[in-house]
A and B are shown apart, each in its own frame.
Chain A
Amino acid sequence: MSVLSVQSLGKAFGGVRAVDNVSFEIGKGEFLALIGPNGAGKSTTFNMINGQLAPDAGDILIGGKSTARMKPRDIWRLGVGRTFQVAATFGSMTVVENVQMALISHAGRILNLWRPAGSLYRGRALELLAQVGMADAADRPSRELAYGDVKRIELAIALANDPQLLLMDEPTAGMAPRERNDLIKLVKDLVVERGISVLFTEHSMDVVFSYADRIIVLARGRLIADGDAAAIRDNAKVQEVYFGTGKTFQEASP
């Protein structure tokens, strides 16, 4: 059974069919990139999967369960981690507290009024931070961090509930090329180790073509291609929608 199954998904804003009859699946451990030119419907598709938008048509199954009408927090409880396009952390907390917050929530102890939260799951949180290479910054206020580091914190938070599926909306947006590769490589290593499936949207083609197991392409709300890097690169339709955008579909030089 696939980890995520998107079935004939549709969403219209006024007269614009932002997403139209889109279907795809993610298998276990698969690293799937969702790409497309601006306005293709990537974010809309993404936001329907993570529960921020309700679809007009079709269904979304995560682990066999329909999540089309679920709230983001309930989808998270099914074992779905996510990171945001514009990284969001809790600015008034330290780095490690950010991760602890997710661990506390995962353990269902949010309503506890008594135990000092600073000592709860600190060890586990530090472990996760070490895995994303941020252990040294554990006790710094998270708002002081550089943007690339905030992205790493987000990754640690997203891994806190031992997810089966990770949703990453433009994980490398706003980062320098070097940082980008490092981050994606880190993500890939972490998920391969854990057998986590990943769906990510991405503008940076070198990242996509270097790391994705499979690529799906949206254009004007429709799914126009689905395949591995080589198949997508040679796909005439894909070349057509990207024509003139300056994208080269080259893998990153190692």
Chain B
Amino acid sequence: MTLNALLFQALNGLSSASGLFFIAAGLSLIFGVTRIVNIAHGSLYMLGTYIAYSLATKIGGAFGFWGGIVLTAIIVGVIGALIEIVLLRRIYRAPELFQLLATFALVLVINDATLWLWGPEDLLGPRAPGLAGAVEIFGRRLPSYDLFLIFVAPAVLIVLHFALAKTRFGRLIRAATQDREMVGALGVNQAVLFTSVFALGALLAGLGGALQVAREPANLATDLIAIGDAFVVVVVGGMGSITGAYLAAIIIAEVKALCIAIGVVDLGFMSVNFSKFTLVAEFIVMAIVLVTRPYGLLGKPQGMVRSVAEPEDPIRPATPMLKGLGAAVFILLLALPLLAQTSPYLMILAIDVLIAVIFATSLHFIMGPGGMHSFGHAAYFGLGAYGAALLVQLAGFPMLAALLAAPIIALLGALLFGWFAVRLSGVYLAMLTLAFAQIVWALVFQWESFTGGSNGVIGVWPSPPFDKSWVYYLLALALAVISVLLLRRFLFAPFGYAMRAGRDSALRAEAIGIDVKRIHWLGFAIAGCVCGIAGGLFAFAKGSISPEAISVGRSIDGLVMVLLGGIQTLVGPIVGASVYATLQDTVMRQTEYWRALLGLIILVLVLAFPQGIAGALSSLARKLGRKPGGAA
């Protein structure tokens, strides 16, 4: 590799940094003021590319392209404002996780709307009029448009910086980022402020997406990829810091470019293709930054967010009624194979539900009592699934041994990732866990020779007698019951109490000798371990495992299940997982636009049941004047 090649890649990195910067800057602004982590921000970015494509091709010419980019930014800004007014404004008072859920529902809806409007094909926009050529630089040809992008981001950064520093609107944004309640108390109209900030953030994302139109094709997968990258950038740069976002975008893009420039390196015993590990490199940068500067490069510790969530009731041992109900459900489930004689699909559905129950219960373990909102629980599902599948394929493990190994592999992963994650809290923790899940996904996806790449591992079928679906179902049932009861037992033991103590008041917990980080780390590891069981079961149930099954979508599924059921109750995740998995397997299969349908269902639930299904039921029971079952 020559120095010129390296410098050329560095330039390339600078131009991809601009896209990252636009989306991260918007995300950061919105979070700073409204405290909403807008997962749909990647979708707005994606919309930007699609809209700019249409304007550039339909209107055509220099005006269609350049005017189209400006117009796109404005359109996306207006869409952002509408989203804020119609949806988010109703849920500012809801627990913060519900806001995440709502924005995730938007991701689904926007994705399907885009599919409906533009179709599934990748769409490459025209070359930029006036910048179609290339410049010779470091002995290679760099498209002039890329060169243009290198300068756009700093230009916008400077404009934003002065707008924030000098204008009244900018001062309000900065003030609200520090203490939004105080800003409200001082008589600032929060509704207008929030809407305009959301519109501005959306506009930036739309602009970033639109500018990509001549560089990369519009693609339906961009939304989640972009939001994943943007999370990393925002975390590295520091929440709420625009300059930090720019700095981080540059660093991340440069590190990736460097990996590509290094290419294949012969280490003597093996050759490593660094260009395949761009995502891993991104993660390493983030991990280093978070360990040394937990609030990002230019971030400041968050102002205290006064929780608006409903306070949680003390947990109580199961009442006789609940125990009886549990036993009845268990007996019904045991008898389920008898019913399945007539509809064989029932067993497949039931296995899916049981896997979902283990997955959701383990996630709830850290999200609810631990207060750690993991956005990357798919990582441990994936480690379990791939661990089991690869042990069968490469090491010839029998099924039961592989199923036993799955939670152990997941445990090791959770111990490693959890060690970093528990050093953070709130959104930072959510984003870090998401990033870890993306790393696992990327490793699996990019390390073709070991994991089969995008095809995954196939031919992982259960051995007899488990090859009959009803026997496998009973195995899954046994594992699900054991997992749920075990996690429940842990929650009622001193460990579970200590985990809640650390969540309720870390200060107080430390003052009575509890090492909160250590307790939360162990909790994280336990949850990961149990989640690995679900992963192992999944691999054998489907006979295969592919990267798609462990993508960010699965992490989000888990969040939806937990919140749907109600995070403050212990039976919540079981209810949520059952409802959600059943919906997914039945209603969703009926339509091509299942994402949009799912998104709409989530939105309705978020608006109608802010405490989740189980939470709503127990509130109802209380209202009816019966003795409340507590958070049993």
Contacts and interface: CB of A to CB of B under 8 A. Distances in A.
A109 B510 CA distance: 15
B507 A91 contact: no
Given A84-B507, A89-B505, A115 B493 contact: yes
A88 B516 CA distance: 15
A112 B495 contact: yes
A115 B494 contact: yes
A98 B323 CA distance: 26
Nearest to A109: B494
Contacts of B117: none
A71 B514 CA distance: 11
Interface of B, helix, strand, loop or mixed by DSSP: helix
A105 B508 contact: no
Nearest to B505: A88
A92 B312 contact: yes
Contact of B311 (A71, A77, A110, A143): A143
Interface string B301-332: 00000000001111101000000000000000
A82 to B, nearest CB: 5
Interface in B500-542: 500-501, 503-505, 507-515, 519, 522
B489 A117 contact: no
B312 A76 contact: no
13 contacts: A89-B504, A89-B505, A93-B500, A97-B314, A97-B497, A104-B497, A106-B513, A110-B498, A110-B513, A110-B519, A111-B522, A117-B494, A157-B512
Interface residues of A, number: 38
Contacts of A62: none
Contacts of B493: 112-117
B496 interface: yes
Contacts of A104: 494, 497-498
Contacts of A89: 504-505, 508
B366 to A, nearest CB: 15
Interface of B: 311-315, 317, 489-490, 492-498, 500-501, 503-505, 507-515, 519, 522
A138 B497 CA distance: 17
Nearest to B497: A117
A90 B513 contact: no
A110 B510 contact: no
Contacts of A105: 498, 512-514
Contact of B505 (A90, A102, A120): A90
A114 B497 CA distance: 12
Contacts of A71: 510
A45 interface: no
A88 B505 CA distance: 7
A126 to B, nearest CB: 16
B121 to A, nearest CB: 51
B498 A101 contact: yes
A117 B500 CA distance: 12
B511 A50 contact: yes
Closest A-B pairs by Cβ, 9 of them: A88-B508, A90-B504, A92-B312, A102-B512, A88-B505, A112-B494, A105-B513, A117-B497, A76-B513
Contacts of B311: 91-92, 141, 143
Contacts of B312: 91-92
A113 B490 contact: yes
A115 B495 CA distance: 9
A197 interface: no
Contacts of A116: 317, 492-493
Contacts of A164: none
Contact of A101 (B313, B512, B515): B512
Contacts of B512: 73, 76, 101-102, 105-106, 157, 160-161
B511 A101 contact: no
A37 interface: no
Contact of A94 (B314, B496, B519): B314
A123 interface: no
A84 B494 contact: no
Contacts of B513: 73, 76-77, 102, 105-106, 110, 161
Contacts of A110: 494-495, 498, 513-514, 519
Interface in A52-68: none
A174 interface: no
B30 to A, nearest CB: 29
A67 B263 CA distance: 52
Contacts of B504: 89-93
Given A90-B500, A92-B312, A113-B490, 20 more contacts: A50-B511, A73-B510, A73-B511, A77-B513, A84-B507, A84-B511, A88-B507, A90-B505, A101-B514, A105-B513, A106-B513, A111-B494, A111-B522, A113-B495, A116-B317, A117-B497, A141-B311, A141-B314, A157-B508, A161-B512
